[in-house]
Amino acid sequence: MQDAAPALPAATVMLVRETPDLEVLMVRRHHRIDFASGALVFPGGKLDPSDRDPAWTGRVHGLDGLSDEERALRICAAREAFEESGILLARDERDAIPALGNRAAAAREAVATGKLPFITFMTELGLDLDLSAMTRFAHWITPTPLPKRFDTHFYLMAAPPDQVAACDGCETVDAEWIAPAEALRLGAAGERTIIFPTRLNLELLARSNSAAEAFAGAASRPIRTVLPEVVTIDGRRRVTIPDDAGYGAVGANDL
C-alpha cells in the first residue's frame, strides 16, 4: 500500500461583518490553481517558513497562551487574508485598526511572491498583527487517499470596518461578501462550486444570526479534528465524516 501524502499545515480565515445581516468574505479560486480550482472558498493557504520567524514576537498582539505552532498558524491566516483579499488584520501604535492606503495595496503582490517578507512589510508600516482577535472555528485534515493534503485550521474574525476586500487576480479571481445561507443556496443550485469542508463550515456559520452569536458559538464549541473517510458507494468515491464531528449527521457526499 502506498504511503499517504503528508498533510501540510495550513490556515484559513472566515472574515465576517454585519450589513445588517451576517455576511462572510469568500474568494473564488482561479481555474488554473491545482487545488479547489474555481471553487468559492475562505481566504487561506499553507504555512510558510516565514510564518515561524522569531521576529514576529515583537510584531503581534495576543501571544499569551499560544503555542509556537498556534502563533504561526494565525500569522499564516493573516498573511493569506492580506494576499488574497487585501484585508490586513492589524493594529497601529495607538492600538487602533488601520485604514489601508495605496502603499499596502501595492505591496500585496510583493508579499505574495516572496519579494517582500510579510514581517518586513508590517515593520515598515509600524503595524502589529492582532492574533487575539481570531477565534478558532474548525480543524480539518484532507483524507489520506488524496494526493494533495492539508492540515487546515479555520479561524473566525470580524472584518476591519474601513478596509475594502478585492481579489488578487492571481490565485483568486473574485471576492464577495455573502450571507452563509445564500452561498449554500448558490452551491446547491450549481451556480458556485463549494467543496465539502467549506460547505459544512458555511452550514455551521449559518446557524448564527449575528457576528456576536457566531463568535460565542465558536468559543464555546469543542474543536474536533475532522479527518473525512473516502468510501466507495455504487462504484463512486464518496466522502463522509463521523456524526460526532460537530456537524451532525451529514451522510456520504461527492468527493
pLDDT in tens, 239-251: 999 888 999 888 8
CATH H-level superfamily of 7-254: Nucleoside Triphosphate Pyrophosphohydrolase (3.90.79.10)
pTM: 0.90
Q: Which residues contact 141 (CB under 8 A, 6 or more apart)?
A: 7, 149, 150, 151, 152, 225, 226, 227
What pLDDT does 1 receive?
46
What is the number of other CB atoms lying within 10 angstroms of the CB of residue 57?
Answer: 10
In percent, the amount of the chain with pLDDT more than 70 equals 90
Most confident of 22-31, 140-149, 163-172: 140-149
On the question of a cis peptide bond just before residue 20, with omega within 30 degrees of 0, the verdict is yes
What pLDDT does 146 receive?
86
- Name which residue leads in pLDDT, 39 or 172: 39
Mean pLDDT is lowest, of 83-97, 174-188, 190-204, for 83-97
* pLDDT above 90 (res 41): yes
